[in-house]
Amino acid sequence: MKNIIIFLTFSSLLLAASCGKENTNPIDTAKLNLSFRATYGGEALILEQKNYTYKGNPIRFTRINFYVSDMAAVNNDGETELAEIQFINLTETHKTQVDAEQGTVMTFSKVPVGTYNQLKFGVGVPADLNKTNPSDYSTSHPLGADNSGEYWEAWDSYIFAKIEGQFDTDGNGFDGNDISFAYHAGRDNLYSPIKLDNSINLTAGNTTELVFELDIKTLFSFPQGDLIDLESHNPNGHGAENFLIMDNFKRALQLK
């Protein structure tokens, strides 16, 4: 008899433990993967080793990174926040064809299920966070000291986006006479809000993949299609080209 009691106690404990687990999760959730892939004129972009054509001459890219913030999935019930701030570093993920086709992936493991009709976010750091600086965060935070290369003292601003590379102005191979460009865009008025209408259906226990393509050629073009004149590093982060580049994220970033 004693044995039965012990047994029942154990088994009910086990049962209770397993039941408890499920009860803590009243809302069904799904996993959402967002991947960011850079392209150049529609072709997968490979950094450093591959040249592309810009105004008839060779160009190559060495660094592409940017912040996205206040990311939310929207439907009639309102907004579901996905992330406050994320650093998207395409530099690390676009060194080979295979990696470039994969891109930089952000994973949200517990998004409430349902049908959403819009994704919204901003490219850059929103004004409330842009008042802070790397000293205000733990080292590994996207806005922290490990990423202090993305903060610029002289503007009291994070660098919202960086695009760097070399442009072979005379077409005779890259050398010291060519242009090394570093477009660094920052400051509050360059924050670039984006809304992408798209029906996203998240079902319980499933993973949904969405792919963003960022076309770098489009980033460097005027709305009519002409390409901007590239210049060597211009420290004026809120200059006209940087303003155009940040605004161009609206056109250059597309859901595939």
Chain positions contacting other proteins, by CB under 8 A:
3-4, 6-7, 10, 48-49, 62, 95, 134-140, 144-149, 151-155, 164-166, 174-176, 180-182, 232-233, 235-236
Least distance between other proteins and beta carbon 151 (Å): 7
Cα dihedral sign for 177, 155, 124, 100? positive
Instruction: Say whether 151 sits in a helix, a strand or coil.
Output: strand
Question: Interior CA angle at 165 toward 133 and 253, to 5°?
Answer: 70
The CB density around residue 118, as the number of other CB atoms within 10 Å, is 15
In degrees to the nearest 10, what's the CA dihedral of 61, 99, 34, 121?
A: -10
Q: How far is the CB of 78 from other proteins (least distance, A)?
A: 34
Rounded least distance, CB 94 to other proteins, Å:
12
Closest to other proteins by CB, 75 or 133: 133
3-state SS assignment for residue 129: helix
- Compute the least distance from the CB of residue 99 to other proteins, in Å: 11
CB within 8 Å of 37: residues ≥ 6 apart = 44, 90, 100, 101, 102, 103, 104, 211, 212, 213, 214
| Nearer of residues 183 and 191 to other proteins, judged by Cβ | 183
Question: Which residues does 240 contact at the CB level (< 8 Å), separation at least 6?
Answer: none
Nearer to other proteins, 80 or 96 (CB): 96
Identify which of residues 2 and 21 has a Cβ nearer to other proteins in the complex: 2
* Among the listed residues 139, 136, 133, the one whose alpha carbon sits nearest the alpha carbon of residue 152: 133
Q: How far is the CB of 156 from other proteins (least distance, A)?
A: 11
As a whole number of angstroms, the distance between CA 10 and CA 6 comes to: 6
Smallest gap from Cβ 235 to other proteins, in A, equals 5
Task: State which residue, 24 or 140, has the beta carbon closest to other proteins.
Answer: 140
Nearer CB in complex with other proteins: 116/181: 181
